[in-house]
Amino acid sequence: MRPVKKIYKPMNINDITIIDDDKLKKAITAAALGNAMEWFDFGVYGFLAFVLGKVFFPDASPSVQMIASLGTFSVPFLVRPLGGIVCGILGDRYGRQKILAITIIIMSLGTCSIGLIPSYQSIGIMSPILLLIAKLVQGFSVGGEYSGAAIFVAEYSPDRKRGLMGSWLDFGSIAGFVIGAGVVVLISSMISDVQFERWGWRIPFFLALPLGAIGLYLRHELEETPAFQKHVEDMEAESKVNLRNSPKLSYREVAGKYWKSLMICVGIVIVTNVTYYVLLTYMPSYLSHNLHYSENHGVLIIIAVMVGMLFVQPIIGMTSDKIGRRPFILGGSTGLFLLSYPAFLMIQTNSVGFIFIGLLILAILLNCFIGVMASILPAIFPTQIRYSALAIAFNISILIAGMTPTIVAWMVEATHNLNMPAFYLMGISLIGLWTGIRMPETANKPLRGETPTASDRNEAKEILSEHFDTIEQKVEEIDEKIADLERRRQILIDQHPKLD
């Protein structure tokens, strides 16, 4: 059977999608708010780990209480790949907007329900079991949340601003974490320790309900992304059937054809989230339990560092649109290997200034990763499998990274070495270095398999002109290679008596 010849046609200005600025702002706001709520829960849970250990595991020693509460934080990551599979399949079939509306409902209900669970003293073993169920519900919804939100923003963003626009997604993460930590500090400062352990810790979880309602409203009002709409139109034009009935690649075929993209995704997510969980989930317990530092004092320092991260985040995203994404993955990984140990030595000095500097070093390195992750990951997969492939790879990676607080806490308790978190980060940084070397540069390029997108018609004209310049350059390079081959051919002919 002869292969079908692919027909290429010249690109024109109408092939470049112009992104509506108002729709872009709404998409970023809605996506970032959902991400903020996810990390609001992580922030609250991380800063309440010491109290939750007492509430749900009162019979254990303080060390075991902390490990158990952090373990409950980690277990839901086991169900995230399932959530990623379900949400990814549905997201590639029915659209991104619908699935993101569903995930935020499930996530807000799961978070709010934690505040309703009676203590261990009231209902015994059912208390930690209900806590685990609530965390599993969260894990399922979060399995499709970040991937879908990153894709939603990426598919709405102009090619030249995708780094900046994507950085706002994790801006929402940090903001949610800061708000969660700030709420914990505010409530604990207003009531006594006894009142806080009895009922005060529940209040932050109840706030997830109104936050979820706002996020649902914003997401419900959004239109589907231009990239997915175009994908639907193309599929219907080619197959003349509804998209739901079109053939799909199996996961085995996806893994075989896109294994390089999957490995890059796994590497970026692991190095980013391990750093994230060490700094923002494990560190509060490390300061209070292992270093015996004042809980509120330590929390305030971390909050100050995170507020600084908020200002750095969009700067890194915008800079990546100028110099590329790879320099930040490579630079962040190198810094993690060289500076993690000095940073933890500073954190252990019991000096507020040195603790702040140590945390700030880790925070800036984390910014290098989260400032570009949301713009890299969606760009390495084609539209028809983007949600499902990214969600599965992302959540398998999170399954590994999510165990970080529990593993690091156990390592410190088992070895009595306070530097074990630094050694753990140094080992993880090697994954980041390998990924940075292997990954393709995605800055200022269309999403994989897509036509370019622009902010306005003038930018579209510039992109078209650059596209033609690139073609001309490639043609010149091919002409040079042909001329060189002709010369080599003639040399060989001249050496043969029967060839002319």
CATH number at residue 385: 1.20.1250.20
- Same domain for 390 and 498? no
- Same domain for 267 and 392? yes
- Same domain for 234 and 373? yes
Query: Whole-model pTM?
Result: 0.80
- Same domain for 317 and 383? yes
Q: Is the pLDDT of residue 250 over 70?
A: no
Q: How far is CA 445 from CA 149, 430, 465, 497, in A?
A: 20, 27, 14, 51
pLDDT value of residue 1: 42
- Same domain for 344 and 465? no
- Same domain for 449 and 463? no
Q: Determine the Cα–Cα distance for residues 415 and 279; give it in Å rounded to an integer.
A: 20
- Same domain for 326 and 468? no
pLDDT value of residue 243: 47
Which of 2-6, 30-34, 366-370, 448-452 ranks highest by mean pLDDT?
A: 366-370
Position 249 in a domain: no
Reported as half-sphere exposure (CB side, CA atoms, 13 A), residue 285 has a value of: 34
Which of 153-162, 175-184, 323-332 ranks highest by mean pLDDT?
A: 323-332
- Same domain for 326 and 368? yes
Which residue range forms the structural domain that includes residue 157? 17-242+254-455
- Same domain for 500 and 378? no
- Same domain for 426 and 341? yes
Domain count, the chain: 2
- Same domain for 234 and 99? yes
Helices 208-220 and 96-114, interaxial angle, to 10°?
A: 170
Q: Is the pLDDT of residue 321 over 90?
A: yes
Please provide the average confidence, as pLDDT, over all residues in the chain.
83
Position 248 in a domain: no
